Amino acid sequence: MLIDNEIKKKFFKRVEKREEKDGCWMWIGKKSNGYGYLYHKGENFSARRISWLIYYNRESNLRYIRPKCKNKLCINPDHLCESHTTQDKINIKNRFSSKIKKSENGCWKWTGAKISTGYGALYVDGTIQLSHRLSYEFYNGKIPKGFHVCHHCDNPECVNPKHLFLGTDLDNSIDCIKKGRNAKGEKQGLHKLTTEQVKYIKQNYIPYKIPLRHFAKKYAVDEKTIHRVITGECWNHVVG
Ligand SMILES: [Zn+2]
Ligand SMILES: [Zn+2]
């Protein structure tokens, strides 16, 4: 973005310098999720990033700019530093890690608060975040829009990232069917497997460890269908 006089003028109108108190420059302009933004020519720009650009005269090389003073709305360039991660993320991860107890069976038991469905939960900025989803994002990466995080181990309180996988809306609808919320499900042809599901089964089946039953339950098909996939009796063209 280009820093011109117009944007500088707008920017400084929205800064309150607390020179006497802690030296922080508080952003009093637009806020979203506790972060400061400047609306300019139809776009929102991070107040921290603008401050950085004005004073250091270059774009930040790293992904985040965060205040060392831990004052979320501070944009004093002397208090800002470049970072690979946000202070918030570091804090959340520390809190997350303090609530895990590793079990012998490999599951990471969540010792913090739980919601009624048995999932672990953590308060983050006043909202409830599910701990298995946090775990997935910390260790495995971003959860694409519309995806659910499911458990291989069928243990909702487990947050071991290796036991977690992404599920589609189909997995979720199967879950609905099991709970009797969607009576039409079976008539909609869900008894058929998709290529993705077949691949998944072929990649994850371990004899005597993960039974056919697991996949049958997961995809709401009978065990015979899964057996046919594994023996190659059908779906042989799909390589796992
Ligand atoms: Zn500060
Ligand atoms: Zn587990």
CB count, 10 Å around CB of 52? 20
Ligand nearest to the Cα of 69, by number: 1
65 alpha carbon – ligand 1 mean position (Å): 12
The average pLDDT across 115-121 equals 89
Give 3-state DSSP helix, strand, coil % of the chain, rounded to 5.
35, 25, 40
Q: Give me the pLDDT at residue 125, please.
A: 61
132 alpha carbon – ligand 2 mean position (Å): 10
Ligand nearest to the Cα of 76, by number: 1
pTM: 0.43
133 alpha carbon – ligand 2 mean position (Å): 13
Contacts of 186 (CB under 8 A, 6+ apart): 177, 220
Ligand nearest to the Cα of 159, by number: 2
The pLDDT tens digits for 145-199 are: 888 898 888 899 999 999 998 887 666 555 434 433 333 323 333 347 777 888 8
The pLDDT tens digits for 16-74 are: 999 888 999 999 999 998 899 999 989 999 999 999 999 998 888 777 888 989 899 99
173 alpha carbon – ligand 2 mean position (Å): 22
User: When comparing pLDDT for 128 and 111, which is higher?
Assistant: 111
> Is the pLDDT confidence value at 202 over 60?
yes
